Amino acid sequence: MVSAVDDGVGQVLSKLKELNLTDNTIVVFLSDNGGPENDNGSDNGILRGQKSDFFEGGIRVPFAIQWPAKIKAGTVYDHPVISLDIFATVVAQTKTPVKTKNILDGVNLIPFLTGEKNEAPHDYLFWRKFDAKNYAVRKGNEKLILKSDAEEMLFDLDQDISEQKNLSTERKENAKQLSGDLRKWESKLQDPTFLGLTQDKEYNKIHPDRFKRPTKQTK
């Protein structure tokens, strides 16, 4: 799979070059989650956790963007960004303004990548697994994880990228503040429209005939 992706990306970039579109085309490449170390040869290194976790091993992934006309090659950006920023970044570059139906959660990253803006793009980053009732929030270097089956966990990612030391007791007020911020964020969300991966029983109640084979019609 990795080899196929590598070949596919190469084909896309080669075609852009052939058509002289490279300089003015935004290309974004990222993973949607950390590697599932228990299932294949993935290695998340010193990062704790894996795919489906809110530890860094589950959500900190490679994120590369290319736009030669605007972004200097070799630029490394250290402030946290998120995949929600991709759409906001792209629509902000169109000559004709794009009016979106809803307010976008993402941020236009170009001014931050070019140095026009020096502050962090986001005050907070939030994550939610609706089915499992698991949450995470990051503000600056601190990240709080709330899991339905475990105690709350607070980590300082600048000092502890492997998330080994839970600071929720030591920094009790910070943890309380982040927990409150997370709840405020969640209160503005609507429930998912579609059932999740762990809701088979609920789905079967709604669609009891989904596994039934069609009956053969005879004359």
Q: pTM of the full predicted structure?
A: 0.85
Number of neighbours of residue 99 by Cβ within 10 angstroms = 6
Provide the pLDDT for residue 150: 83
Quick check: 141 pLDDT over 90? Answer: yes
Provide the pLDDT for residue 9: 96
What is the side-by-side strand order in the sheet with 134-139?
Answer: 125-129, 134-139, 142-146, 153-156
Average pLDDT of the chain?
Answer: 91
**Among 69, 104, 99, residue whose Cα is nearest residue 84:** 104
Convert the pLDDT of each residue in 23-59 to its tens digit: 999 999 999 999 999 998 899 999 999 999 999 999 9
Provide the pLDDT for residue 152: 95
The H-or-E segment that residue 2 falls in is: helix 2-18
Quick check: 219 pLDDT over 60? Answer: no
Residue range 123-219, CATH number: 3.30.1120.10
Domain range summary for the chain, segments of one domain joined by +: 123-219
Round to whole Å and give the CA distance between 125 and 160.
Answer: 18
Task: Give the amino acid at 168.
Answer: S
Provide the pLDDT for residue 202: 80
Provide the pLDDT for residue 217: 62
Average of pLDDT values for 5-20?
97
Instruction: Classify strands 125-129 and 134-139 as parallel, antiparallel or unpaired.
Output: antiparallel
Convert the pLDDT of each residue in 18-29 to its tens digit: 999 999 999 999
First-last CA distance in the chain: 48
Convert the pLDDT of each residue in 69-87 to its tens digit: 999 999 999 999 999 999 9
C-alpha atoms less than 13 angstroms from C-alpha of 192 in its C-beta half-sphere? 11
Binned at pLDDT 50, 70 and 90, residue 211 comes out as low
Query: Which residue spans within the chain are E strands per DSSP?
Result: 27-30, 63-66, 125-129, 134-139, 142-146, 153-156
